[in-house]
Structure 1
Amino acid sequence: MDTELPRPHYLTVDGIRVATYVFEPTHQAVGEVVMCHGTPWSARVWAEVARHVGRDRRVFLWDMPGYGQSITPDAPLDLTTQMSRFAQVQSLWGVTRPHVVAHDIGGAVALGAHLLRDCGYASLFLWDIVTLDPWGSPFFRLVADHPEVFAQLPDALHAALVREYIAGAIPHGLPAEQLDALVQPWLGGNGQAGFYRQIAALRPEHTRPVVERLSQVRCPTRIGWGADDPWIPVEQATRLQQLLPGRPDLVTLDGVGHLAPMESAAQVAQAIDDWLGEFA
């Protein structure tokens, strides 16, 4: 599995350097796809899928401020701000009406940019997204209420906690080197502080205005979910179906947890190919 990204190109959004990445096809692109990651991930989770989709299309990714190569000690990391940044990044890329593929809180960010910031999409494919209440595990809420305490953990204890937390999203496991790559950005002084700071910034009240407007989504949608997702049970996918216009199709992947783009990249890539093929 190749989870390497192209060299980042940095854009400045709200005075913050944001790492972005582009996969370019070797021939004329037949469309544009934007992929949005969640927490505590980065654009890396989409790398293999993006490389596959990028054979025929231009694929754009970003590390949201607070994640991956965009970890910064001072930037606001709440979802409302990320929604606005996502709209700005698309404008800076020069993309209009892209196909958007989003995972975890990336789904809330993409939906918020569409519904609250008037971003136009050709289509929207939502994977295991954080949007509907309830969300946030007891551990997540404990950290959110005491980030300054967790930020003072000894390095080794913090590293073990982050590794265990990330592994908990993936009940059937990932190869050690892939798990290491997901943990690594959160190590060291800025990484450790950033890990707890981004959790503290994520609040369900920032997704509720999006949920109230789900019936107003203005593009075709499809939902993808890991059948064994331990963080957001697949029952939420069925609820999401009922709230989106046209009761969109639901793709469920057996034996897959919360991190489908890495756990089962081939199946996710095929599902996205099938979806995009409907717009050819």
Structure 2
Amino acid sequence: MALLHADSVTLNQTFHYENTTHSYDIKWCSLGDSSNPPVVFIHGTPWSSQVWSPFALALSRHFHVYLFDNPGFGESPMEREIHINSFHPSDKVSELDSDLARQSEVFAALFKTWEQDWDGRKPHVIAHDHAGLMSLRAYLLHGCIYASLCLIDVVAIGPFGQDLFKTVAENPEHFQRLPDMAFEGILESYIRNAAFKDIPGDVMQMLKAPWLKEGGKAGFTRQLCQANSRSTEEVEGRYEEVGRQIPVKIIWGAQDNWIPVEDATRLGKALHAEEVVQIEGAGHLVMYDQPAQLGVELGSWLNTFTR
């Protein structure tokens, strides 16, 4: 696993989607033989699909693997407001809010275009961080049906919030006016706090890069604003339905500083999960802290459905 951080995947497809308020262009790709069982990876915040690249490349030997960047993350640009039917936010936080409800809607639309190539097969979905809530919303509210669901250190069950989220949400315009050097320092500190082990320099640069380009500071600010308020109300009371209909596995870094490991147990009970696994020596970025163990857990989980 020594080359884990060096692997990368090119998102060579674009999906366009519009609703009554916004327009989206999502970058995505698929790997492997299309006749193999489909697997969909969903990234969280403030990451991109690149956190899944090594696992996607490895699994593409036996699965048809899908990767994509959420709106405003990685290679996918931020959504554009449609002025014909203009959306008027009530305050600056709402204007910046990346809104997980909207992100879930876009994922569901993308998912349904992929369904056309699956010949009735259902995909295995692997989700990290706020992708947990996205995948659950897509399943419960948008009719996206999975073969199984694996949730890794996910946002899905309240309460939420960190001091940084609250501070930025109170004064987002001040955060955006930070000098570039100060912003990069906060960004790097924020990312380091997500890992239990030291992050190699090239991995840190890859994780920072989308937020250091033009418009990145505003994009990073909006995802912090969203992190202070999650879109769980419509679905959290329905989690039991998911576990009764499909197999669910939960994986958690035992030293997660962002979402306490106790949430894994709470979520496991709410979802009636078949497995709840804690990985020692791993924080929120378990894919970098313990890549070998995570790879084994993912492989053993998916293997149960291909025997």
TM-score band w.r.t. shorter chain = over 0.9
The aligned residue for residue 118 of structure 1 is 143
Counterpart contact for 1:172–1:256, Cα < 8 Å: yes
Per the alignment, in what secondary structure is the counterpart of residue 165 of structure 1? helix
Give the Å deviation of 1:51: 1.0
Give 1:61's aligned residue.
67
Contact 2:99 2:226 in 1 (8 A): yes
1:29 Cα deviation (Å)?
A: 4.2
Indicate the residue corresponding to 2:177 in structure 1: 152
Answering whether residue 50 of structure 2 is matched by residue 24 of structure 1, we say no
1:70 is paired with a residue whose SS is coil
What are the within-5 Å matches in structure 2 for residues 1-280 of structure 1? Answer: 1=4, 2-14=6-18, 15-25=23-33, 29-72=35-78, 74=80, 77-94=98-115, 95=118, 97-217=122-242, 218-245=245-272, 247-280=273-306
- Secondary structure of 2:235's counterpart equals helix
Deviation at 1:216, TM superposition (A): 1.0
Show structure 1 runs of 5+ residues with no match: none
How many pairs are equivalent? 277
Partners of 2:105 and 2:252 in 1: how far apart? 26
Residues in 2 aligned to 1:80 and 1:24: alpha-carbon distance in whole angstroms = 30
Of residues 141-150 and 217-226 in structure 1, the stretch that sits farther from structure 2 once superposed is 141-150
Question: Secondary structure of 2:132's match?
Answer: helix
Give the 3 Å change call, closer, same or farther, for CA 57–29 of structure 1 in structure 2: farther
Q: TM-score, normalised by structure 2?
A: 0.86
Residue 203 (structure 1) shift: 4.7
Give the CA deviation at 1:73: 6.3
For 2:84, the equivalent position in structure 1 comes to none
Q: Kindly tell me: are residues 131 and 155 of structure 1, through their superposed partners in 2, closer, same or farther at Cα, counting changes over 3 Å?
A: same
**What secondary structure does 1:108 align onto?**
helix
Single out whichever of 193-202 and 174-183 deviates more from structure 2.
Answer: 193-202
Larger Rg computed on CA atoms: 2
Amino acid at match of 1:49: F
Q: Which amino acid aligns with 1:195?
A: F
For residues 209 and 64 of structure 1, the distance between their equivalents in structure 2, rounded to whole angstroms, comes to 21
Of 109-118 and 70-79, the range deviating more from structure 2 = 70-79
Whether the 8 Å CA contact 1:79–1:202 is kept in 2: the answer is no
Gaps (5+ residues) in structure 2?
82-96
C-alpha distance in 1 between matches for 2:98 and 2:174: 19
Q: Tell me the SS of whatever aligns to 1:189.
A: coil
Q: For residue 154 of structure 2, give the secondary structure of its aligned residue in structure 1.
A: coil
Q: How many angstroms does 1:121 deviate by?
A: 0.4
Change (3 A) 1:127 1:103: same
TM-superposition CA deviations, 1:89-144 (whole Å, max 9, x none): 11122355210000000000001100111210000000000111122211112112
What is the alpha-carbon distance in structure 2 between the residues aligned to residue 7 and residue 203 of structure 1?
29
Relative to structure 1, the CA distance from residue 144 to residue 100 in structure 2 (aligned partners, 3 Å threshold; closer, same or farther) is same
Question: Who is 2:86 aligned against?
Answer: none
Identify which range, 121-130 or 10-19, moves more after superposition.
Answer: 10-19
RMSD: 1.7
Higher mean alpha-carbon deviation, 107-116 vs 192-201, is at 192-201
User: 3-state DSSP class of the match of 2:203?
Assistant: helix
SS at match of 1:71: coil
Query: TM-score normalized by structure 1?
Result: 0.94
- The aligned amino acid for 1:167 is R
Pair 41,177 (structure 1): closer, same or farther in 2 beyond 3 Å = same
Contact map agreement 1:215 1:243 (CA 8 A) in 2: yes
